[in-house]
Chain A
């Protein structure tokens, strides 16, 4: 469905996208992850035909987008990060306009508008001006506007930015419904939990480059940290403890010191945690709380880039 090959785009000295390649099959949901400035939006903009790459190409169903009017653009639905709506117009008027951009009109447009409004749960508010919508409702309408021409590929650029948890869940439900209909979704986000819930495969970007492209399980296998051990030391007892010392304990893959808390990544929780706790006790670092969790995509990102996703 979608093939992105060696995309490169720079703005003066800033290389925004540096040799990005990725693929998305029919019905697949790909998560494009990375911190702000990683190059996700530029990549999506190039795929949507908004920005011309300096190098590389984008193929939709095997065809390269040739021009502004290329009919292949009908296979793409863009949900921009900035709300692409007119506040002064009603939801229905907005959809009428955006459907017309793809040549839809008459009964066909009316039907697709009804379907889209129904999907995002805004049928009852169709005649209301967008101005009076909540942030979450605007986001849902933003999604609906991209569905009218029934595209096979949906490019979703951080579609849940700034919405409340309820609206976010509603959008997830909408996206899962679209996935069931066989749509291909390319979903950019820096929310790990969204990617974990929705995506079949994850492409992680940083500094304009793809640093990992795999399934969730594949990514977990990629890192030496399968589990995270969180140890809260007694207050004021951290003095003198250095991350390098902890790193030297057998089985420790990563160490993060935050106040009186140690976050230690280990591959084998059962085998490695005993040694760590013994080591701390022997050196006079008593702890007051202990917790463990499975590694998350956040951990994967931290491991791959050395920094946190929301940095």
Chain B
């Protein structure tokens, strides 16, 4: 019993070790991913350079008190505070260009002072936020409360007297998630279906690449190469069928989300289809490129998983990008997953028009083109 057991085990290990690239990738991939996660979650000495949360402030009060609050917010290293009108702030949050906006109302200092010292009615600070960034919104609420209390405390210490009602917040926050329209609730399923769809389609792309490598090992590949067909036809047809499959998968995913979870395409339907088509084509081209990376399916699988996980992570599908270091967040814009995610968010729950997704669509198509050209140029055509 032991002899065949050991022989079978030895055979498996020998086969595994015989493909050096596969062995290398099986070690390199988890090391790279673990290092990346450790780094962004503050492993070791910690990540002291987190990306600031983009916040717009509309100070309609304009008093020394409100200016002091704004200055304190600006002094926060975790925030990137800029001034804006209420309308511009709302638009920016809706388009995902800012994570949140703070609207300080007129007479805020007077009303807040009255509430703080005499227990009068508390003024409301408007807080517009991107509902897909609730973690950042809660952080911002805490920072905001701290800034107001510190400012109020400073004024109290300068002679205004002790507060009548004890130390309570002299204002209320009126949070408003900015979606496609007022009163339209944020549907988190739209974001999660987009994110998971993107992730799985990339996996489909990897499968396309692996299948191409396996195809080379079969007589079918020789038969195809023997026919008077161009490389573009051979690879292009593969990419097209993969893109159709991916597009169908995305549409079925969102149809399911529509029926079961009430996810709606609040914005441009053409834009939605455009993002789906562009991303599907990109994943197909990505798959073809994968097929050119390694000599064997086993070796390529490791590289492909690493590339896929990096694209998914850096696209913001797994963790919010605000916890990324500045430099890392800056480079996420080059990842097609980010464009796809932004595009799907824009036309689903943000309710934006085609113009909002025209750039992501163009970038995704461009990416597909580059991947496709690289794949055609690098693909090993000769039969083994």
Instruction: List the interface of chain A (C-beta within 8 A of B).
Output: 45, 48-52, 68-71, 73-74, 76, 78, 80-86, 98, 101-102, 142, 145-146
Contacts and interface: CB of A to CB of B under 8 A. Distances in A.
A145 B221 CA distance: 13
A45 to B, nearest CB: 6
A263 B383 CA distance: 42
B227 A82 contact: no
A80 B228 contact: no
A73 B219 contact: no
A45 B382 CA distance: 9
Nearest to A149: B227
A76 B226 CA distance: 8
14 contacts: A45-B222, A48-B226, A49-B226, A50-B225, A68-B230, A69-B229, A73-B228, A82-B217, A83-B219, A85-B219, A86-B220, A101-B223, A102-B227, A145-B223
A8 B225 CA distance: 20
B223 A98 contact: yes
A69 B223 contact: no
B224 interface: yes
B220 A85 contact: yes
A80 B229 contact: no
B227 A80 contact: no
Nearest to B228: A73
Contacts of A70: 228
Contacts of A81: 219
B295 interface: no
Interface residues of B, number: 18
Nearest to B222: A80
Contact of B222 (A52, A74, A82): A82
B231 interface: yes
Given A68-B229, A69-B230, A73-B227, A80 B382 contact: no
B230 A73 contact: no
Contacts of A52: 382
Given A45-B383, A50-B382, A50-B383, A74 B219 contact: no
Given A45-B383, A50-B382, A101 B227 contact: yes
Contacts of B227: 73, 98, 101-102
B185 interface: no
B378 interface: no
A102 B381 CA distance: 19
B223 A78 contact: yes
B211 to A, nearest CB: 12
Given A69-B230, A74-B228, A145-B223, 8 more contacts: A45-B383, A73-B227, A76-B226, A82-B219, A101-B229, A102-B228, A142-B219, A146-B223
B218 A51 contact: no
A213 B217 CA distance: 32
Contacts of A49: 225-226
Nearest to B223: A84
A84 B220 contact: yes
Nearest to A72: B228
7 closest Cβ contacts across the A-B interface? A84-B219, A82-B219, A80-B219, A84-B223, A101-B227, A73-B228, A78-B226
Contacts of B221: 84
A68 B229 CA distance: 6
A78 B231 contact: no
Most A-side CB within 10 Å, residue of B218, B221, B226, B227: B226
Contacts of A73: 226-228
B168 to A, nearest CB: 71
A258 B231 CA distance: 54
B222 A50 contact: yes
Nearest to A71: B228
A73 B230 CA distance: 12
Contacts of A98: 223, 227
Contacts of B225: 48-50, 68
Most B-side CB within 10 Å, residue of A50, A78, A86: A50
B363 to A, nearest CB: 31
Contacts of B217: 82
A146 B224 CA distance: 11
A82 B218 contact: yes
Contacts of B219: 80-85, 142
A49 B383 CA distance: 10
B233 to A, nearest CB: 8
A74 B219 CA distance: 18
Contacts of A102: 227-228
Interface in B172-225: 217-225
Contacts of B383: 45, 50-51
A157 to B, nearest CB: 9
Most A-side CB within 10 Å, residue of B219, B221, B229: B219
A69 B230 CA distance: 6
B220 to A, nearest CB: 5
A237 B229 CA distance: 66
Nearest to A77: B226
Contacts of A74: 228
Contacts of B218: 82-84
B180 to A, nearest CB: 44
A71 B227 CA distance: 9
Given A45-B383, A50-B382, A51-B383, A84 B231 contact: no
A95 to B, nearest CB: 11
A14 to B, nearest CB: 13
Interface in B346-384: 381-383
Contacts of A68: 225, 228-231, 381
Contacts of A76: 226
Given A45-B383, A50-B382, A51-B382, A80 B223 contact: yes
Nearest to B217: A82
Contacts of B229: 68-69, 101
Most B-side CB within 10 Å, residue of A45, A52, A146: A45
B69 to A, nearest CB: 67
Contacts of B220: 84-86
Contacts of A51: 382-383
A40 B145 CA distance: 81
B229 to A, nearest CB: 6
